[in-house]
Structure 1
Amino acid sequence: MNQSPFTSPSSTGLLANRYQLKQLIGSGGMGEVFLANDILLGGIPVAIKFLTQTVVDTNMQQDFAREALMSAALSQKSIHIVRAYDYGVNDKKKPYYVMEYLCGKSLKDLIPLPLPMFLTLSRQICLGLQCAHQGINIDGKICPLVHRDIKPANILVIPDPILGQLVKILDFGIAKFLNSTSKTSTIRGFNGTLPYCSPEQLDGEKLDSRSDIYSLGVMMFEMLTGKKPWQPETDYFGAWYKAHHFEQPKAIADVKPTLKLPHNLNSLIMACLAKKASDRPQNIAEILQFLTSLEQSNCYSVPITITSNSILSRSLNSKLSITVEQNCKQLLWPENKPIQEIVFPRIIDTVQGSMTTLWLMLSKQETKNYALSTRYNQFIFITSPHPMLLWVTVLYNRQLVPKWLPCYLDMQNPQNCRLVSFLAENECYPLIFFTLEAPHSCTSVLSSRIEPAGRQMLKTWVEQSQSLPPASQPQLSKQILKQQYKQVQSRILQHLESEPKVVL
């Protein structure tokens, strides 16, 4: 490890009058990564990568700047790529860029994996790679990328309220544009990690996305077995060159006989490890399609956990105070809202203080139908690329089609943070029913209860939202939540239908 001038940063020194460097947390061939606090944004933690002191070559500095550009551009397209949002040069002419600081575990520390987790993480890795392979727009031209260093150490797995585990692909330091005109030498100019390199990468040939697919195959083999497909006598270049070019990979069944692996999954991994690029899957989409179908099959689906950050609460006869209920029944439908079936949250003032309520308009008949329904709610929160909260209320009756009431809240909007804060302060929130038919009056008020753990989590999410750096991708986060909402709906229904019938 190279000694850095920032290994013991001054307690008063600031980078760019904004970032308080704390400690060295990692280093690699191109850079060193420091934990820092963004003073401008209240001291939130960030990761700052500096170009190593020994790298003074102009081309390497250009590559480093390009890495920051690629990470920033790709992270706007995929949540599975680490986000970069600032770049600069310090007073010692040392380039750096600022990334999101992620608390998680390296994939290398998690393997081997059980099959359900393998499928979930592999699919997310493929989604991130697909984004890179599709490329980024530079000066009006789409430039596809090859990562060239896919390995477990470059995959971070962090807790996530939607997915359980969220994959982030790191280190685009040696990634190359497919249409790059720069020359790559063979052994002398080799970049990559030997156990995961494709034969063509070791030969210094021009690479395409199929080289990453080979590296992915090596990694998937290791994710399942804890071992690599080859075990040469030494770790020198020549030994690995021989293995990748001339030796057949071990059989998964021989490495881990107790692993019950679907035959077609075994075939997929072996196809990714083909010596010739033309014999491998030709793009990530082919792998994604297979992994998604296998993950969603009955045998290998991952059951939803209705706990922790993704909160599901069930309400039976949870009562509002009489004064709050009376206050709600006196409310009038807002003039600025259309007369149609819609749902929206709103803060109201009561004698007991301000509280968050949910307003909805239904036909008179539907209002009667759902008057005796059981209420459930679920909250799902994502921080990247833009902090967004999905608040879902479900009116459930075994004799009726469930009524889904989703609300998407941009958590960089102060009014929404205030709304969620009030939501967290009360055990129940009112569902205020208005009729589609004139005079559009309030006909009934139900309540939905939030578990204590859920209310605490909402408070935590508000605090997180207020400490995050500014973001400008609310529509992208909303689209991500919409996709997850569709998946979560079926799983919530399975959960609800499996519960014993309750007589109200």
Structure 2
Amino acid sequence: MNRDPSYGRLLANRYQLAELVGEGAMGRVYRAKDTVLGGVVVAIKFLSQALLNQNMRDRFEKEATISALLGEKSNHVVRVKDYGVDENNIPFYVMEYLSGESLSDIIRYQPLSLSRFLILTRHICLGLESAHQGIPFSGELCRIIHRDIKPSNIIVIQDPTVGELAKILDFGIAKLILANASQTQSFMGTLAYCSPEQMKGQQLDNRSDIYSLGIMMYEMLTTDMPVMPQNSSFGGWYQAHNEFQPEPFKSHLGLPNALQNLVMACLAKAKEDRPQSIRNILQELEELNQTPKVPATTQSSQVENPPSTQKVNSGQEQTVKGTPSLTEICLQHAWPKDKPVKKIVFAQVLQSPLGEIPVLSVMLDKTDIVNRMSSIRYNQFLFLNYPHPMLLWITLLYTKKHGPRWLPCYLDLKSHKGQQLSRALASLGSYRILFFALDHPERCQHVSTSNIDPQNANMLEKWAGIGKSSKTSGYPQASKEILKGELEQLKPKILLKLEAVETNFSGDFSG
């Protein structure tokens, strides 16, 4: 299996890099050991070379220092411990390593309950308020505007004292508003969460973060976006944020009117019409917390979890001593001799000491495998009973840089193999994607895990039963063609959703 060339590299004669845990437009994040402090685990973020203009280099030390001070001020901001520039003149900063889930992972399958929403949103607001109030630095008050508030920049951890705790990531690239200093007009942010004034390149203040917070709160409560563009270009999002009105909340969610009004106020096009400070939002949340809570209705979302944050059902990776894990078993698997050595996708069930493992095997160029190791993974299942019981198992690997890699697979649910696979997927609630390189088919090169929405898992069990008992049989190719047409119609919608919610980083990381 290919290993990142930075693995084991000693940075600043102190930090030993381990695996790459996240990569995105803003840079790369590595898990590392602090050799000076006895191997304490930290996260190290290298800024993308694409961001390294002279202005960014000049600001970096000040930003890292102020970020460190902000982390000391608020428990709801990830702490920056150190910073520097490596031998290639690439700036980096060192953060506390947090093992948790990003908010984007948590809300992919269903919205938050009202009680959980109120707790996590309060934490996020407290972190933002600390930044907006400012940090004294060199005799000046530095007010910090995050500029990129979104679910993937919020990590939720389990704290032994307070329980669930939300922290904000990436203040290290935030725009600093210095007293008596002029702002640059450079664009920084994620299009789906940008305020109207940010899209216009205007000067920003705390109310821009409040707009982004409003979009995130809407998504936390519904799993949907309040505005969607006609296309995912800059122009499409510019129009959406400046002209499109937010979609009203669905009545079946049962959300308090006061909460709906608060979210819609945050989404006002004119910043003067929004809450003027985070303190105003905190006061509204406190009042909501005193009223009886109505739980939000669960909705299904089929966007797949990013790598490394996913959990295997029933603790099956926590094996007894001497028994290999599911991933280790998969890595020992070879490309079947009855399959051609070419770019194809097929499904099978592997038998193991841990039970049946449903897997999707794919053969790609070695470079493409490396590019897909940190992809967003999405899955969806389409079933057709007539003219022949057929299941289309859709897997998508997506990165903004490398685009989509579709991995469709058809399961004949009249066959024993198709029913076995469908039931194995339902039982485990996840599956493994096995990557094989064209020039090295003798051994699996990489394994990814893809979780299945529990509602979809239930349907897979039902569909297997329908397929077995169905009296309609014949013309399986006709069913495939119908499902193929359905997929082609779905593709643009799926891609638009992924582009809207694409995370800067995936995995279990802290910045």
TM range (shorter): 0.5 to 0.7
Matches of 1:178 and 1:193 in 2, distance apart?
Answer: 23
Q: Among 197, 202, 214, which residue is 1:200 paired with?
A: 197
Q: Among 27, 30, 33, which residue is 1:34 paired with?
A: 30
User: Which residue of structure 2 aligns with residue 73 of structure 1?
Assistant: 69
Cα distance, 1:63 vs. partner? 3.4
SS of the residue aligned with 1:116?
helix
User: Which residue of structure 2 aligns with residue 292 of structure 1?
Assistant: 286
Matches of 2:155 and 2:275 in 1, distance apart?
Answer: 25
Identity %: 54
User: Which residue of structure 1 aligns with residue 148 of structure 2?
Assistant: 149
Relative to 1, partners in 2 of residues 1:283 and 1:115: Cα closer, same or farther, differing over 3 Å? same
User: Which residue of structure 1 aligns with residue 207 of structure 2?
Assistant: 210
Confirm or deny: 8 A CA contact 2:100 2:155 kept in the other structure.
Answer: yes
User: Which residue of structure 1 aligns with residue 53 of structure 2?
Assistant: 57
User: Which residue of structure 1 aligns with residue 220 of structure 2?
Assistant: 223
User: TM-score, structure 1 length as denominator?
Assistant: 0.55
**Residue 282 of structure 1 aligns to which amino acid in structure 2?**
Q
Cα distance, 1:209 vs. partner? 0.6
Unmatched segments (≥5 aa) in structure 1: 1-5, 302-504
Matches of 1:63 and 1:105 in 2, distance apart?
Answer: 30
Cα distance, 1:178 vs. partner? 5.4
- Residue 102 in 1 paired to residue 98 in 2? yes
Relative to 1, partners in 2 of residues 1:240 and 1:178: Cα closer, same or farther, differing over 3 Å? farther
Confirm or deny: 8 A CA contact 2:140 2:178 kept in the other structure.
Answer: no
Q: How does 1:402-413 map to 2 (within 5 A)?
A: none
Q: Among 265, 269, 274, which residue is 1:280 paired with?
A: 274
User: Which residue of structure 1 aligns with residue 176 of structure 2?
Assistant: 176
Confirm or deny: 8 A CA contact 2:115 2:293 kept in the other structure.
Answer: no
Matches of 1:77 and 1:62 in 2, distance apart?
Answer: 24
Relative to 1, partners in 2 of residues 1:56 and 1:271: Cα closer, same or farther, differing over 3 Å? closer
Cα distance, 1:160 vs. partner? 1.5
Relative to 1, partners in 2 of residues 1:262 and 1:182: Cα closer, same or farther, differing over 3 Å? same
- Residue 86 in 1 paired to residue 82 in 2? yes
Matches of 2:254 and 2:22 in 1, distance apart?
Answer: 37
Confirm or deny: 8 A CA contact 2:100 2:157 kept in the other structure.
Answer: yes
Relative to 1, partners in 2 of residues 1:197 and 1:10: Cα closer, same or farther, differing over 3 Å? closer
User: Which residue of structure 2 aligns with residue 115 of structure 1?
Assistant: 114
Superposed CA RMSD: 1.9
Confirm or deny: 8 A CA contact 1:146 1:178 kept in the other structure.
Answer: no
User: Which residue of structure 2 aligns with residue 447 of structure 1?
Assistant: none
Cα distance, 1:83 vs. partner? 0.3
Confirm or deny: 8 A CA contact 2:103 2:154 kept in the other structure.
Answer: yes
**Residue 20 of structure 2 aligns to which amino acid in structure 1?**
L
User: Which residue of structure 1 aligns with residue 234 of structure 2?
Assistant: 237
Relative to 1, partners in 2 of residues 1:139 and 1:264: Cα closer, same or farther, differing over 3 Å? same
Q: How does 1:306-345 map to 2 (within 5 A)?
A: none
**Residue 230 of structure 2 aligns to which amino acid in structure 1?**
E
Cα distance, 1:230 vs. partner? 1.1
- Residue 160 in 1 paired to residue 156 in 2? no
Matches of 2:52 and 2:280 in 1, distance apart?
Answer: 41
Confirm or deny: 8 A CA contact 2:254 2:294 kept in the other structure.
Answer: no
User: Which residue of structure 1 aligns with residue 10 of structure 2?
Assistant: 14
User: Which residue of structure 1 aligns with residue 245 of structure 2?
Assistant: 248
**Residue 174 of structure 1 aligns to which amino acid in structure 2?**
A
User: Which residue of structure 2 aligns with residue 46 of structure 1?
Assistant: 42
SS of the residue aligned with 1:113?
coil
SS of the residue aligned with 1:37?
strand
**Residue 192 of structure 1 aligns to which amino acid in structure 2?**
G
User: Which residue of structure 2 aligns with residue 267 of structure 1?
Assistant: 261
Structure with the bigger RCO (C-alpha within 8 Å, sep 6+) is: 2
Cα distance, 1:164 vs. partner? 2.2
User: TM-score, structure 2 length as denominator?
Assistant: 0.54
Runs of 4+ in 1 over 4 A off after TM superposition: none
Matches of 1:10 and 1:160 in 2, distance apart?
Answer: 30
- Residue 191 in 1 paired to residue 185 in 2? no
Matches of 1:217 and 1:245 in 2, distance apart?
Answer: 15
What CA deviation, in whole Å up to 9, does each residue of 1:125-156 have, x standing for no partner?
A: 00000000001111122121111111111111
Matches of 1:183 and 1:297 in 2, distance apart?
Answer: 42
Cα distance, 1:194 vs. partner? 1.0
Confirm or deny: 8 A CA contact 1:124 1:167 kept in the other structure.
Answer: yes
More moved, 172-181 vs 44-53? 172-181
SS of the residue aligned with 1:127?
helix
Matches of 1:300 and 1:116 in 2, distance apart?
Answer: 8
Matches of 1:234 and 1:34 in 2, distance apart?
Answer: 33
Cα distance, 1:182 vs. partner? 4.0
Confirm or deny: 8 A CA contact 1:51 1:61 kept in the other structure.
Answer: no
User: Which residue of structure 2 aligns with residue 443 of structure 1?
Assistant: none
Confirm or deny: 8 A CA contact 1:210 1:277 kept in the other structure.
Answer: yes
Cα distance, 1:7 vs. partner? 3.3
Confirm or deny: 8 A CA contact 1:51 1:64 kept in the other structure.
Answer: no
Matches of 2:135 and 2:106 in 1, distance apart?
Answer: 31
SS of the residue aligned with 1:192?
coil
Cα distance, 1:298 vs. partner? 4.8
Unmatched segments (≥5 aa) in structure 2: 296-511
Matches of 2:197 and 2:20 in 1, distance apart?
Answer: 35
More moved, 156-165 vs 114-123? 156-165
Relative to 1, partners in 2 of residues 1:280 and 1:137: Cα closer, same or farther, differing over 3 Å? same
Matches of 1:180 and 1:104 in 2, distance apart?
Answer: 39
Cα distance, 1:55 vs. partner? 4.2
**Residue 277 of structure 1 aligns to which amino acid in structure 2?**
K
Confirm or deny: 8 A CA contact 2:44 2:94 kept in the other structure.
Answer: yes
- Residue 138 in 1 paired to residue 132 in 2? no
**Residue 176 of structure 1 aligns to which amino acid in structure 2?**
L
Relative to 1, partners in 2 of residues 1:284 and 1:214: Cα closer, same or farther, differing over 3 Å? same
**Residue 204 of structure 1 aligns to which amino acid in structure 2?**
G
Relative to 1, partners in 2 of residues 1:288 and 1:59: Cα closer, same or farther, differing over 3 Å? same
User: Which residue of structure 2 aligns with residue 258 of structure 1?
Assistant: 252
Matches of 1:263 and 1:147 in 2, distance apart?
Answer: 29
**Residue 10 of structure 2 aligns to which amino acid in structure 1?**
L
What CA deviation, in whole Å up to 9, does each residue of 1:336-385 have, x standing for no partner?
A: xxxxxxxxxxxxxxxxxxxxxxxxxxxxxxxxxxxxxxxxxxxxxxxxxx
Q: Which has the larger radius of gyration?
A: 1
What CA deviation, in whole Å up to 9, does each residue of 1:377-412 have, x standing for no partner?
A: xxxxxxxxxxxxxxxxxxxxxxxxxxxxxxxxxxxx
Matches of 1:48 and 1:180 in 2, distance apart?
Answer: 32
Query: How many pairs were matched up?
Result: 289
